[in-house]
Amino acid sequence: MHHWHRTYSGEGLKVKKSLLILFLITLMVAVSFGAAAKVKFWHMYLSGPSKEIMDEIIAEFNETNKGAIEVEDLAISFWDYWDKIRVSMAAKQEPDVFLHDLGNVGMRASTGILLDLKPYLLAAGFDPEEVFFEGPLKMCSYEDGIYALPLETDVRLLFYNKDLFRQAGLDPEKPPTTWEELLYYAEKLNVLDKNGDYEVVGFNPLYGQSYFWMYVWGKGEDFITEDGDIVVNSPGIIQALEEWVALINELGLEKLLSFGANFGWGAADAFIAGKVAMGIQVGNFIADLAMYAPDLDYGIVQIPYPVQNATWSNGFSLELSSRSKNIFAAVEFALYLLSDEVQLKLAEGISSLIGNRRAAYQSDLIEDPQWKMQIEALEFTKFRPFILEAPLWYETLQVATEEAIYGTKTPDRALNDAQKLIEAEIQKYKMTH
Amino acid sequence: MGRKRSKYFRRKNLAGYLFAAPWLIGLSAFVLAPILATLFLSFTSYDMINAPRWIGLTNYKILFTLDPGFWKALGNTFYYMFGSVFLKVFTGLIFALLLSSALKGMRIFRTIYFLPVVLPSIPVMFLWMMMFNPRSGLINQLLGFIGIKGPLWLNSPQWSKPAMILMSLWGIGGIIVIFLAGLQDVPEYLYEAAELDGANKLQMFWRITVPMIMPVIFFNTVTGLIAASQVFAESYIMTAGGPLESTTFVNLKIYLLAFKDVRMGYASAMSWVMFMILVPMTVLLFRISRRWMDY
């Protein structure tokens, strides 16, 4: 007994020791796997069907990746979102994955706070050019990397009121297909009251989401030179502004302004009130029409600009913090959100104009002519080019446009001054960076 | 005896400081500290993501050489400041004179004129936007009754600031109340003596009332100017700085620079330049007023 005990304890100790070590290793492995990597995700889907869909999407992801990754999301209202995300970045407490403005990804990418997703996309077998629409994808690129993913975007289209068409003797199934037709129809659709003020405006270039830069693109012009510099006073753009101002003057600026002052948004929108026969609006306007004027008989068509169809997009990007503690988990979640299945869900659940092109064409929604038109627009849509040194160049352009419209400056003087201001901005940036 | 006394006073002083402490802490943490921070930031380039980068006087250099927009905003601000304050002080004085008479019902009118001051400003702004509507607004309709075709008000680059100046009359109640108090302080015997000497109402106004309430006029003017220089909400809510940047005021510009462009350093420099313009202006006003108040 004694003998056995002695030998056993010698070997037993060895066995016990190795068992202990094995147990500890298993425990460590179990604990490290059991502690799921937490991914903080901030978005703006605070209420309604979009909140329900996002909750479902996140829950499914958490279920599939139980124990390995856990996504904690936070919904913030649109109005507060931008301040909150900015402050969180300044406090070095930004979330791992977050929505942001697709129009100025470069601004954040240049500070180093965003994760370059290109290597991860390629490793996961995502060919970005094959999967995403060209316009949105371009906005996600900065220098040689891809710093964001195009989660949601939008387009502008020409909405027209079929009842007003009928009243003016026009065929409601034959919307204008050229710019001349648009102007011709517009004149027929104008209705003036006894003072000569507008009761109904046929085509209101100052209404809705009609912007001068869209007209510039519609004339085949561009704001970027071959060298990649920003230009707002090229001969083509000056001519475009002259035409734009002429159009507004023909309709009467003061009359258009006093007409516009009677309306607002939502139920008080001029088109919804049936006072604008043809107007340019964003695709989401379809939801507004469904809510505030379900009986309004309307149609939508690509905007028939003079030289080529053009439209403008902006949208939300999905970005990742380069300072995240759980980069792989965050990337996993981001790729999930942009995967075909999830994008299909977003498209079908909330008619979101998604960035994933493959999913957009696979969706059943493609049978819906209105959605199909928006997808077609996404193929040729343009975004306002992002200029790192002068990110608000388009506001300077807008002021110049207004100066020309109000007649305080001629179009070429206004645009030349705007170009000088933008170049001064670029110089200012170089002096401080 | 001396030691006991100072201990007593020291204890009393300590109690005083303790009572004032919460306010002092609040003042230091939420007012003084941020102000000093902006002074530091004005010499840096800060994008709120990476640490502020020291660039010395570059922001100030840019402000004085490369930013015509700032000077335009400054011009807009001065236009509004002086236009609004002189109109308010002048109109306020007239109303106060009318209200200081002992007629029946004056107290009700005093309340009515003061009421707008306590209303929340944002809904009031929307109300004013409706009133300024070129076609269906109250103001142009009233002008139409007397045969004047009203301008586009907030939609016109020339009339947007006058519209806002008119709007600022809304807050005249505070000025009226202060003037009423000042008018009460003018001794009756001065008026009686003047009447005996054969002065008429107008002479009494200019020779007695105005000099006697000059300190009050001055107070209202200076506080009005400082308050008006901070104009922000009206242009942010009603016109977004337009049309044609006619209502872009300095405060709005600083706000947009700091929170939309995220150029914190530059916005801080702009704030300090504005401060350095307002301080000499106030000192100048004090100097001028001292001359007026020598009677």
Comparing B223 with A34, which gets the higher pLDDT? B223
% of residues, chain A, pLDDT over 70: 94
The answer to whether residues B91 and B119 belong to one domain is: yes
A199 phi and psi angles, rounded to 5 deg = -90, -50
Residue position matching structure tokens 């109303």: B95
What pLDDT does A14 receive? 57
pLDDT band at A172 (very low <50, low <70, confident <90, very high): very high
Q: Please compute the mean of the pLDDT values over residues B183-187 and round it to a whole number.
A: 87
Residue B148: pLDDT band (50, 70, 90) is confident
Helices (H) and strands (E) in chain A, counts: 19, 13
Please check whether residues B191 and B239 belong to one and the same domain: yes
Residues B22 and B157 in one domain: no
Our CA-based measurement puts residue B253 at a distance from the nearest CA of chain A, in whole angstroms, of 13
Tell if the CB–CB gap between A254 and B242 is shorter than 8 Å: no
Of B114, B117, B80, the residue nearest B238 (C-alpha): B80
Name the least confident of A37-46, A360-369, B262-271. A360-369
A116 touches B75 (CB < 8 A)? no
The long-range contacts involving B134-141, CB below 8 angstroms and separated by at least 24 positions, are B134/A257, B134/A258, B134/A261, B135/A197, B135/A258, B135/A259, B135/A261, B135/A262, B136/A261, B136/A262, B137/A261
Q: Examine residue B48 and state whether it is found in any structural domain, yes or no.
A: no
In a domain, B53, yes or no: no
B52: in domain: no
Chain A residues in contact with B42 by the CB 8 A cut-off are: none
**pLDDT(A6) > 70:** no
Give pLDDT, residue A5.
Answer: 47
Q: What is the pLDDT, as a whole number, of residue B17? A: 87
How much of chain A is in helix, strand and coil states, percent to nearest 5?
55, 15, 30
**Is A427 near chain B, with CB under 8 Å?**
yes
> What is the DSSP code string of B69-129?
HHHHHHHHHHHHHHHHHHHHHHHHHHHHHHHTS--TTHHHHHHHHHHHHHS-HHHHHHHHH
Note the pLDDT of residue A8. 46
The reported pLDDT for the residue numbered B8 is 79
Contact across the interface for B66 and A427, Cβ inside 8 Å: yes
Query: A262 and B136: CB-CB below 8 Å?
Result: yes
Instruction: Report the C-alpha gap between B172 and A341 in whole angstroms.
Output: 62
Strand, coil or helix: A278: strand
User: How does pLDDT run across A83-103, given as a tens digit for each residue?
Assistant: 899 999 989 999 999 999 999
**B50 to A89: CB separation less than 8 angstroms, yes or no:** no
Q: What H or E segment, with its residue span, contains residue B284?
A: helix B264-292
Residues of A (238-267) whose Cβ lies below 8 Å from B = 254, 257-259, 261-262
How, if at all, do strands A37-43 and A69-75 pair?
A: parallel
Q: How far is CA A151 from CA A66, A170, A216, A310, in A?
A: 24, 40, 27, 22
Residue A340 contacts residue A359 (beta carbons within 8 Å): yes
Least CA distance to A400: which residue of chain B?
Answer: B244
CB contact under 8 A, A432 and B245: no
Distance in angstroms (rounded) separating the CA atoms of residues A233 and A415? 5
Q: Is the interface score ipTM higher than 0.85? A: no
| HSE-up of residue A138 (Cα within 13 Å, Cβ side) | 13
- Kindly state whether A91 is in contact with chain B, defined as any CB-CB distance less than 8 angstroms: no
Same domain, B18 and B106: no
Specify whether B27 is located in the same domain as B118: no
**Does B59 sit within 8 Å of A406, measured CB to CB?**
no
**Whether residue B127 sits in one domain with residue B68:** yes
| Residue contact A262–B152, C-beta within 8 A | no
Q: Which among A129, A275, A121 is positioned nearest to A192, based on CA atoms?
A: A275
Of B50, B58, B245, the CB nearest to A111: B50
Residue A251 DSSP SS3 = helix
Q: Do B62 and A392 touch (CB under 8 A)?
A: no
Report the C-alpha gap between A413 and A406 in whole angstroms.
Answer: 13
Q: Could you check whether A38-155+314-380 and A156-311+387-432 share the same CATH topology?
A: yes
Among the partner-chain residues B47, B55, B62, the one whose CB lies closest to the CB of A111 is B47
Please, are residues A198 and A190 in contact by the beta-carbon 8 Å criterion? yes
Contacts of A402 in chain B (CB under 8 A): 242-244
Report yes or no on B50 lying in a domain. no
pLDDT value at residue A7: 46
Q: Which domain holds residue B9?
A: 2-41
Which residues from B are below 8 Å from A391, CB to CB?
261
**Which residue out of A256, A388, A432 would a mutagenesis test of the B interface target, given it has the greatest number of B Cβ atoms within 10 Å?**
A432
> Are B109 and B255 contained in the same domain?
yes
Contacting residues for A414 by C-beta, under 8 A, at least 6 apart: A241, A400, A401, A403, A404
Tell me, yes or no, if A187 comes closer than 8 A to chain B by beta carbon.
Answer: no
Q: Is B220 found in the same domain as B177?
A: yes
* Same domain, residue pair B12 and B121: no
CB within 8 Å: B155 and A83: no
Mean of pLDDT over chain A: 89
Which positions ≥6 away from A404 have C-beta within 8 Å? A241, A244, A245, A410, A411, A414, A415
* DSSP state, residue B48: S
The domain over range A156-311+387-432 is classified in CATH as 3.20.20.370? no
Residues B244 and B206 in one domain: yes
- Contact B49/A108, CB-based, under 8 Å? yes
Of B55, B68, B244, the CB nearest to A406: B244
Q: Is the domain of B175 the same as that of B237?
A: yes
What residues of chain B lie within 8 A of the CB of A431, using their CB?
A: 55, 58, 61-62
Strands (E), chain B: 44-45, 53-54
Residues 6+ away with beta carbon under 8 Å from A4: none
Q: Are B96 and B227 contained in the same domain?
A: yes
Q: Give which of A240, A285, A246, A238 is closest to A265, Cα–Cα.
A: A285
Q: What is the pLDDT of residue A30?
A: 60
% of chain A exceeding 90 in pLDDT: 71
CB within 8 A of B267, min separation 6: which ones? B254, B255, B257, B258, B261
- Select from A197, A426, A428 the residue whose CB has the most chain B CBs within 10 Å, as the one to mutate to test that interface: A428
Domain boundaries, chain A: 38-155+314-380, 156-311+387-432
Q: Tell whether pTM > 0.90.
A: no
Class of domain A38-155+314-380: alpha beta
| Confidence band, pLDDT 50/70/90 cuts, at residue B208 | confident
Residues of A in contact with B243 (CB under 8 A): 402, 406
Looking at per-residue pLDDT, the higher value among A282 and A30 belongs to A282
Q: What is the DSSP letter of A277?
A: E
CB–CB contact A113 B49 (8 Å): yes
Rounded Cα gap, residues A158 and A171, in angstroms: 16
First to last CA, chain B: 49
* Residues from chain A contacting residue B152 (CB–CB below 8 Å): 254, 257-258, 261
**CATH number of the domain enclosing B260:** 1.10.3720.10
Q: Number of structural domains, chain B?
A: 2
